Amino acid sequence: MATDKPTILILCTGNSCRSHLAEGVLRAVAGDFLNVASAGSKPAGYVHPLAIRAMAEIGIDICGHRSKHMKEFLAAEIETVITVCGNVDQACPIFPGQVNRHHWPFDDPAHATGSEEEQMAVFRRVRNEIRRTFTAYADGRRDALRVGGIS
């Protein structure tokens, strides 16, 4: 992960839904100045198909993502860790070079029940919440770069 861009690591327990939604959004809106990755404390081993579908609906392709363990990043220089679910915040290690840590919990759409369309409604709602939050974060980072600061 050698890059001159700061690395943002998005963590969630299973690394199958929320962290991939956030990774996809943040890479789409800030990939020009941030390196973005995601991982989990207990990775599910797959990216949820409805997460892939929800992101495709807004023009972001995450079908190439894979579920990863956060240990894969322990040797990487991580500037910011963002946790997007409650459980991983307690399990999150400190990464070498880590400057910032944010905890922004979102509902887990993987637990949605009902018909596939009812489940998709939950995936869309969580995707939209993540999109708003991470777009605002990217906008703030971009503004800070313009004035020469870091956040």
**Active-site amino acid positions:** 12, 85, 92
SS3 content of the chain, % helix, strand, coil (to 5): 45, 15, 45
What number of CA atoms fall less than 13 Å from residue 88's CA on the CB side?
A: 31
**Gyration radius (Cα) of the chain, Å:** 15
Nearest Cα residue to 44 out of 108, 123, 129: 108
Nearest CA among 32, 37, 38, 34 for reference residue 6: 34
Three-class SS of residue 68?
coil
Which residues does 128 contact at the CB level (< 8 Å), separation at least 6? none
Which residue shows structure tokens 């922004």? 104
Mapping DSSP to helix (H, G, I), strand (E, B) and coil, where does residue 93 land?
coil
